[in-house]
């Protein structure tokens, strides 16, 4: 029988040293943040899918990790009290064998009965030492009730304090119970049945206990590995969007990911013996995998067809994602990497924006008469009253009319337009207010009407009638459109993607409406006839708004009414604006500005200046249009 307690002090020293190293690294004594908990897990806490998934050493390392200084001090005090009373009579070797036997038994109980709870601390082993001592005292000193009472009270106090301290970290009740049972069993075998008296037999039993890890069920391991596959594929896909520079490359990469989603789905369906606690999470995970696969498919189709209407499908999927029930067990144990936020995160500070709802009349002119408004817009505006970020336009009845994104009042990004009978009208992309890339236009019934590509010039690649019959192929063919009553509305020819030659239009009763001559998409000459019999002769200039008194007169007005500022910057303010059928100007958007004063002055000059003649459809019908002006300062 040894009188020393060297192993007790060594165990305490190791626990203190390990905690000190972690506390310095984490710069925290309380160890109560998510980052602290993740770090403890990474350096050796006991977690079923990790321990049984190839890291059995966690059974030992977890016994020397603690969730904060209070957790450590309570356990070390209990270890000191128990060690100084048990190690001298047991001897150092047997004390260590009992300590680690109870600690490993606690770890095994935690693996078997817990569902994804990371266990750490000396508590399991200490519960075992309490059980061992209580068992020994009950068997050997049953008549000494005061001694038993003192031991029991110390045990109860230890349980209460340990439970309160570890409450924020999922108390490992199975682990504590497993350690206590293991200690009690050892005491019974030794003091009641007189077995395992020799240390070598206890050592063999300890090895056999460790060997049981091989036969423990792996259901949590399999589910965890599938969960990690989902996380990894999600991260991989996200990196593709960030790093792939071409649409073709992105499409090819996304195509390669589709089978991986199918494989994960198949693996999850094949997992046997999933614990009842994971049934609900498994169902959610299956739905999530299918939604992610479907979203990947839509993005592939979007790239292949360059059809932005797939964003609607993706948006519907996003809504389904939000409706998925919350997982009970979030198995993402990766420590977030530090660094600067991405451009998408810092591009727009939402805290500086204010929600806005604006009403418009039939010509998209802002109005305060809500009752007679035809449209309204919901989005956010900045301090300069400019639309910023995602914007939605709606018909007066609440049906969607447009989805898009603005940057400083400028259309920038994907825009989708809808008819008032719930079909697509057009979809494409703007870059700094200019249509770019492929735009799709649709008939009244939602059928594809045309595909037009915009760059330095426009190119009409395909045209279809409302029944889906293709009229223009690769930019060549004759286009013909009809009224709902079957009368022909317009016909003409496309050559190399542009309107060419004579185009004819007709009134709904079949009478001639206009005859227009095009050369490479440019209106050279046109003649139209109104319902009243009047004839109109026009060319491409009629398609653009124009100052009623002519541009020289308007520029004279600008020069005579421009205000100068002490800090004025010399240059041009480039501005686009809407021109109503009544000749008024509104919806001013600065494409390229100089300063707030100059930009505001440019808007004032337009707002207070002479009226404009709106664009004329077929030389006679006034239509809302967009003007462009450069004002020198």
Instruction: Quickly list H helices, 194-330.
Output: 199-211, 219-243, 247-270, 279-305, 310-323
Structure token pair of residue 323: 């409706």
Beta carbons of 564 and 605 less than 8 angstroms apart = no
Mean pLDDT, rounded, of the chain:
91
More confident residue, 168 or 53: 53
Q: Is 176 noted as a catalytic residue in this protein?
A: yes
Structure token pair of residue 196: 């395992």
Q: What is the pTM of this model?
A: 0.77
**pLDDT at 337 exceeding the cut of 80:** no
CA 146 to chain centroid: 62
266-294: b (≥16 Cβ within 10 Å) or e = eebeeeeeeeeebeebbeebeebbebbbb
Which helix (H) or strand (E) element contains residue 158? helix 145-165
Q: Find the mean pLDDT for residues 607-625.
A: 94
Q: Is 123 noted as a catalytic residue in this protein?
A: yes
Neighbours of 259 (CB within 10 A): 10
CA 542 to chain centroid: 47
- pLDDT recorded at residue 161: 74
123, 265, 450, 479: which one is catalytic? 123
Q: Find the mean pLDDT for residues 102-130.
A: 95
| pLDDT (tens digit per residue) in 64-77 | 999 999 889 989 99
Structure token pair of residue 201: 């037999």
> How does residue 341 score in pLDDT terms, banded at 50, 70 and 90?
very low
Q: Which residues contact 62 (CB under 8 A, 6 or more apart)?
A: 44, 45, 46, 107, 119, 120, 121
66, 71, 176, 363: which one is catalytic? 176
| pLDDT (tens digit per residue) in 517-557 | 999 999 999 999 988 889 999 999 999 999 999 999 999 99
> How does residue 351 score in pLDDT terms, banded at 50, 70 and 90?
low
| pLDDT (tens digit per residue) in 410-443 | 999 999 999 999 999 999 999 999 999 999 999 9
| pLDDT (tens digit per residue) in 254-265 | 999 999 999 999
Nearest CA to 41 out of 24, 30, 55 is that of 55
**pLDDT at 349 exceeding the cut of 70:** no
């Amino acid at each position: 029988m040894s009188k020393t307690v060297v192993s007790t002090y060594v165990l305490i020293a190791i626990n203190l040293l390990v905690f000190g190293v972690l506390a310095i690294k984490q710069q925290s004594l309380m160890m109560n943040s998510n980052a602290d908990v993740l770090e403890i897990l990474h350096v050796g806490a006991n977690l079923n899918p990790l321990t049984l998934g190839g890291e059995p050493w966690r059974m030992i390392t977890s016994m020397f990790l603690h969730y904060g200084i209070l957790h450590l001090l309570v356990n070390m005090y209990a270890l000191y009290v128990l060690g100084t009373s048990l190690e001298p009579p047991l001897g150092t070797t047997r004390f260590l064998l009992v300590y680690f036997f109870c600690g490993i038994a606690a770890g095994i109980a935690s693996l078997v009965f817990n569902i994804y709870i990371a266990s750490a601390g000396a508590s399991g082993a200490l519960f075992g030492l309490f059980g061992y001592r209580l068992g020994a005292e009950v068997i050997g000193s049953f008549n000494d009730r005061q001694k038993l009472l003192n031991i029991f009270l110390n045990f109860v106090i230890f349980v209460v304090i340990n439970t309160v301290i570890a409450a924020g970290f999922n108390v490992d009740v199975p682990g504590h119970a497993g350690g206590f049972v293991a200690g009690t069993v050892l005491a019974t075998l030794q003091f009641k049945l007189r077995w395992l008296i020799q240390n070598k037999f206890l050592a063999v039993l300890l090895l056999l206990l460790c060997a049981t890890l091989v036969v423990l069920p792996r259901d949590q391991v399999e589910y965890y590995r599938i969960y990690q596959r989902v996380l990894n594929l999600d991260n991989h896909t996200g990196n593709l969007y960030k790093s792939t520079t071409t649409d073709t490359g992105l499409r090819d990469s996304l195509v390669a990911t589709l089978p991986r989603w199918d494989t994960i789905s198949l693996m999850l369906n094949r997992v046997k013996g999933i614990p009842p606690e994971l049934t609900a999470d498994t169902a959610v995970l299956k739905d999530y995998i299918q939604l992610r696969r479907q979203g990947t498919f839509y993005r592939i189709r979007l790239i292949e067809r360059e059809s932005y209407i797939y964003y609607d499908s993706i948006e519907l999927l996003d809504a389904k994602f939000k409706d998925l029930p919350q997982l009970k067990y979030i198995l993402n144990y990766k420590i977030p990497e530090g660094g600067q936020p991405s451009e998408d995160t810092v591009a727009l500070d939402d805290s500086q924006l204010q929600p806005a709802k604006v009403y418009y009349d039939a010509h998209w002119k802002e109005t305060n008469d809500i009752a007679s408004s035809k449209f309204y817009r919901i989005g956010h505006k900045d301090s300069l009253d400019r639309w910023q970020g995602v914007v939605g336009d709606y018909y007066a009845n609440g049906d969607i009319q447009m989805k898009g994104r603005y940057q400083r009042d400028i259309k920038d990004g994907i825009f989708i337009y809808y008819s008032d009978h719930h079909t697509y009208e057009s979809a494409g992309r703007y870059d700094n207010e200019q249509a770019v890339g492929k735009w799709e236009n649709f008939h009244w019934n939602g059928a594809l009407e045309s595909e037009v590509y915009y760059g330095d010039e426009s190119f009409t690649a395909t045209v279809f009638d409302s029944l889906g019959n293709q009229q223009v192929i690769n930019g060549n063919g004759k286009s013909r459109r009809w009224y709902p009553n079957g009368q022909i509305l317009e016909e003409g020819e496309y050559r190399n993607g542009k309107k060419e030659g004579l185009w004819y239009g007709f009134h709904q009763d079949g009478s001639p409406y206009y005859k227009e001559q095009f050369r490479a998409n440019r209106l050279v000459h046109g003649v139209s006839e109104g319902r009243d019999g009047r004839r109109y002769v026009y060319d491409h200039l009629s398609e653009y708004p124009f100052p009623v008194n002519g541009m020289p007169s308007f520029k004279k007005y600008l020069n005579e009414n421009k205000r100068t500022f002490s800090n004025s910057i010399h240059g041009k303010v480039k501005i686009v604006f809407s021109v109503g059928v009544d000749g008024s100007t509104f919806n001013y958007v600065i494409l390229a500005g100089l300063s707030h004063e100059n930009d505001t002055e440019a808007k004032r000059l337009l707002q207070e200046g002479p009226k404009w003649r709106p664009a004329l459809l077929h030389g006679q019908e006034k239509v809302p249009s967009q003007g462009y002006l450069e004002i020198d300062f």
